[in-house]
Structure 1
Amino acid sequence: MLRSFICLAAGSAALLAAAPAAVLAQEGPPPAVVRTAEIVQRDMARTVMTPASVMARNDARIAAEAFGRVTFVAEPGDMIETGGLIAQLDDRQARIQLDEARARLARATSNANYQNAEADRYEGLAANGTVPANRLREVELARDLADQDLREARAAVMRAELELERTQIVAPFPGRVAERLIQAGEISAPGREIVRLVDIEHKEAVAQVPVAIAPFLEVGQEVTLSLANGTSQRAPIRAIIPVGDAVSRTFEVRIDLTGSDWIVGSAARAAFPAETPRLQAAAPYDAVVLRSSGSHVFVVDADDIARQVAVVAGVREGGYVAIDGDVEAGQRVVVSGAETLSDGRPVQELGEDA
C-alpha cells in the first residue's frame, strides 16, 4: 500500500508540473473582432482636383414686354411651370383696344363681302355688254380696296391680341422664383425686370480644367464631385467647351447634375483624370493603415490569421484607394479594427447584424 501511495504522489506531482505549461499554451491574445472586405481590380487613374460651382442651366431675369401697372407678382419660392403666370399687368386698356380692333374687322369683313358680290355681278353684266368697261374697273377697284382694308383689320386684331397677351408675364421654363424685382402696384415698362426665375431641376457644375488633361476627357465620362460637407457623387460630363484661356491655361467643363438636391450656388470640387485609366488592385479607404514607417494593410488568410503587408497607396476614387504591394484581387483585408492589430494575430469576422 505504501508503494501505491508513492506512485500516486509521483503522478500528481507530474500533473502539477505539466499544468502550467498547458495553461501557458492556451494563453495568448484572443481573436480580434474585425470587419473585412475583398481587394478588387478597378480601372483607376491619377486625378486633378479643381474648384467647381453648382449652377442652374436655366437662370433668367424675366422682364416685362408691355407698359402698365403691376396687379400681381409671384412670391419668392413659388414653383412655376412652363407657361405659368409670373406677373399680371393691368389689362383694361389692352382689352378696349382689342374690342375696337374686332369691331373694325367686322365692319371691314362686311364691306369686303359686299364689294366682292358687286364685282361678281358687274363682271356678269359687262360680259353681256350691259355696263361699260370703265364702270367695271371702278367696281373692281372698290373690291380690291375692301380686301386690303380687311387684311389690315385682321392684322390690327392680331396686334391687339398680342398686346393683351403681353400683359401676362409667363414662365419660359419650369423653375422657382428666386427673387422678386418689382412689387404689385408699381408701374412696369418694356424691359423692366420682374422676377429672377431659376430652374432647380436641371443643374450642372461648371469647372475650369487645365488644358493639359484635355486628352483624357470626353462627353459622358463620369467624374467625382464633392462638397465641403463631405457629400460626394459621380456625375457625367455634359459638355466640354474647347476654348482655353490664354492666361490661366484652362478650359470650361460642364458636369450634369440633373435631379441632384445640391443647392444652386454651392462650391464644389471636381476630380478629373490626369492620365489614361489602368487596371489596379484597390481596397476600401479604411483598409490602409498609415504609420510614420509607411502604409500597410492586414490580409486575412484562410485560417483567419491577419498578416501585415506593406503597400504604397495611390489613386483614390469612389471609396477605394489603389494599393501596390504583395497583394492580389480576391484577398480579404481588414477594414475595421486594423488599428489595434498585430502581425499574426487571429481574427474573427464581425457579423453584419452586429
Structure 2
Amino acid sequence: MNNLMLTNVVPSNLTPARNKSSKVNLYSSALITFTFISAIALLNICQKANAAETTEKPAHLVSVESVKKEQVKPSIWLPANVISRKNSPISAEQTGQLLWIEDVGSQVKKGQLLAQIDDRHLKLQLARQRAQVKQHQADVDYLTGQKARFLKLREKNNSALSEYERVNKDLTIAINEVAALNISVEQTLLSLEKTVIRAPFSGNISQRFAHIGELISIGRPLVQLIDTKNLDIKIAAPISIAPFLQRGSKVMVKWNQNLLELPVRTWSQAGDQASRTFDVRLAADGVAMLAGTAVTVSLPKQSPKEAILVPRDALMLRENETYVLTIDNDQQAQKVSVLVGQGVNRWVSVTGALSVNDSVVVRGGERLQSGEKVRFIEDKKEGLVANVN
C-alpha cells in the first residue's frame, strides 16, 4: 500500500519542469503548422502567377498551305563556287620607282587611278625629242626654200639639174626625219600615260603585290582587281545532264540558310575527259555574295516527271537539315525532313514523307516546335491560320 501511494504521488519539484516542456512542444507544433500553411499559400500564389502568365502570353499565328503534285524536272544538287566575271591582275607597263598605289579593299571605278610610277626620265626624253623635231623642222624649212630657188633657176637654165635633185633629196630625207621624230614623241607620250595605272573596269582591290618605293619592271603585277557586281556561279556538272539545260531557265541555289532562283547564263560546249564534267555558269549579278563563296546548285538531270511540291516559304533551312512542319489529325505540328529539288515559281519540289493535300506551315513556323498543339481559324486574308497553344 505504501509503495502504491509512493508511485502515485508526484514530487512537487518536478511539476514545473514538465509543464514547461509541454509549452515548448505546443509552441513547436504551432510553428510547424504555420510554416506548412504558409508554404501551401505561397505555392498557390506561384501557381496562380504562372497560370496568369500562361494565359496572358499571346498566341502565335501561323498560316498553312496544302501540298500538291505537278510535273517538274528531276534535279541533282552539285557544289559550286561564286566567281567574278572580271578578275585581273593589273600589271605595270613601264619601269620606274613606285610612287603611289591604291590600298587593299578600295572600291574603284573604271578609269580611276590605281598606281603611279616615277615619270621624270620620260619627261626629259620627251623634251629632247621635241627639240630634235624643231631642229629637223628647221632643216625642212631651209631645204624647202632652197628647192624653190633652184626650181626658178632651172626654169632659166641657170642651175644644174644635179643640184636641184640633191636639194630635193635632202628635203625628202629631212621630212622623213621629222615624221620619225614625231612618232617617237607619240611613243614617249604613250609611255608617260602608262606610268599612271588606271582601272580598266569598276571593282574592288583584293590584293596588292607591290609597295611604295620599289623599283617596278614592265609586266610586274601591282594589284588584283575584281568586279564585285557582275558575278557568276560556276558548276562542274556531269556531261550527262547537258541535254536538259536551257539557257535562261532558272534553277535553285542554296546559300547559307537562303534559297535563291538564278538563271542559267551559259555553259561550255566541251567537257573534261578526266572528270567527265563541263562548265556551267549561272548569272548572279547584284546578289550580295563574295567571290569565292561556296554554294550548292540544283540542275535538271532527267526529263520532266511528277513530283511533290511545297511552297518555298514552307522550307526551314538549317545547317544540318532542311525540313517542313506539317499538321496531323491530332492538330499537332510534326517535323518532316525533305530533300529540295527543282523550283517552279514560288513552289519547289521536295522528296520526303509528304502526301498530296498535307498541310504545311508557310508562316510563323520559326517558333513552332514539333509536337505542339495547334487549332485552326479560317481567315479570308491569311488563308488557313492556326493558334499555337
State whether residues 287 and 333 of structure 1, in contact with CA within 8 Å, keep that contact through their aligned partners in structure 2: no
Please point out which of 244, 266, 277 is paired with 2:304.
277
Instruction: Identify the residue that residue 192 of structure 2 maps to in structure 1.
Output: 164
Q: How does 1:20-99 map to 2 (within 5 A)?
A: 35-37=63-65, 44-99=72-127
SS of equivalent residue, structure 1 residue 258: coil
| Number of residue-to-residue matches in the alignment | 305
Please point out which of 341, 349, 373 is paired with 1:316.
341
Please point out which of 125, 141, 164 is paired with 1:113.
141
Q: Answer with 1 or 2: which has the greater Rg.
A: 2
State the distance in 2 between where 1:265 and 1:36 align: 37
Provide structure 1 residue ranges, at least 5 long, that are not aligned to the other structure.
1-31, 289-294, 301-305, 307-312
1:33, distance to aligned residue in structure 2 (A): 7.0
User: What TM-score, normalized to structure 1?
Assistant: 0.74
Please point out which of 248, 252, 276 is paired with 2:279.
252
State the distance in 2 between where 1:34 and 1:261 align: 29
1:137, distance to aligned residue in structure 2 (A): 0.3
Instruction: Identify the residue that residue 131 of structure 1 maps to in structure 2.
Output: 159
1:87, distance to aligned residue in structure 2 (A): 0.7
SS of equivalent residue, structure 1 residue 226: strand
SS of equivalent residue, structure 1 residue 35: strand
State the distance in 2 between where 1:157 and 1:334 align: 76
State the distance in 2 between where 1:34 and 1:59 align: 46
State whether residues 208 and 223 of structure 2, in contact with CA within 8 Å, keep that contact through their aligned partners in structure 1: yes
1:225-267 deviation per Cα after TM superposition (whole angstroms, max 9, x unaligned): 222x222312222221122122221111111112221011111
C-alpha distance 325-168 of structure 1, shift in aligned 2 (>3 A): closer
State whether residues 265 and 281 of structure 2, in contact with CA within 8 Å, keep that contact through their aligned partners in structure 1: yes
1:36, distance to aligned residue in structure 2 (A): 2.8
1:267-288 deviation per Cα after TM superposition (whole angstroms, max 9, x unaligned): 1111100123357663326769
Provide structure 2 residue ranges, at least 5 long, that are not aligned to the other structure.
1-59, 316-323, 332-337
1:216, distance to aligned residue in structure 2 (A): 0.4
Instruction: Identify the residue that residue 262 of structure 2 maps to in structure 1.
Output: 235
Q: How does 1:217-236 map to 2 (within 5 A)?
A: 217-227=245-255, 229-236=256-263
Instruction: Identify the residue that residue 377 of structure 2 maps to in structure 1.
Output: 348
C-alpha distance 122-232 of structure 1, shift in aligned 2 (>3 A): farther
Instruction: Identify the residue that residue 188 of structure 1 maps to in structure 2.
Output: 216
Percent identity for Structure 1 against Structure 2: 26
C-alpha distance 81-42 of structure 1, shift in aligned 2 (>3 A): farther
Equivalent residue letter for 1:64: A
C-alpha distance 340-347 of structure 1, shift in aligned 2 (>3 A): farther
State whether residues 267 and 280 of structure 2, in contact with CA within 8 Å, keep that contact through their aligned partners in structure 1: yes
State whether residues 53 and 265 of structure 1, in contact with CA within 8 Å, keep that contact through their aligned partners in structure 2: yes
Instruction: Identify the residue that residue 148 of structure 1 maps to in structure 2.
Output: 176
Q: Does 1:211 align with 2:236?
A: no
1:121, distance to aligned residue in structure 2 (A): 3.6
State whether residues 96 and 216 of structure 2, in contact with CA within 8 Å, keep that contact through their aligned partners in structure 1: yes
1:127, distance to aligned residue in structure 2 (A): 3.0
State the distance in 2 between where 1:170 and 1:202 align: 20
State whether residues 239 and 255 of structure 1, in contact with CA within 8 Å, keep that contact through their aligned partners in structure 2: yes
Equivalent residue letter for 1:276: S
